[in-house]
Structure 1
């Protein structure tokens, strides 16, 4: 799932909020969020 999310983000299919949603539902963790987006994950 991580590779798919990273690919979709790289082609502009997902924005930071979308990637954050995957952290909330448990598909990826906050470290993977930072690896994809380059930003720290902030809950909320």
Structure 2
């Protein structure tokens, strides 16, 4: 019982970490797109 509970917690943690990494990657990609547009806009403005 205890081992299966431990395994479940480990699996849940693994899933949570994976989801967090996916969210970070997605938000970083969106942020990167915006930063690229901003840099292009500033360079074009100057």
TM range (shorter): under 0.3
Q: TM-score, structure 1 length as denominator? A: 0.26
Q: Which structure: larger Rg?
A: 2
- The structure whose RCO (Cα within 8 Å, separation 6+) is larger is 1
User: Which one has the bigger helix percentage?
Assistant: 2
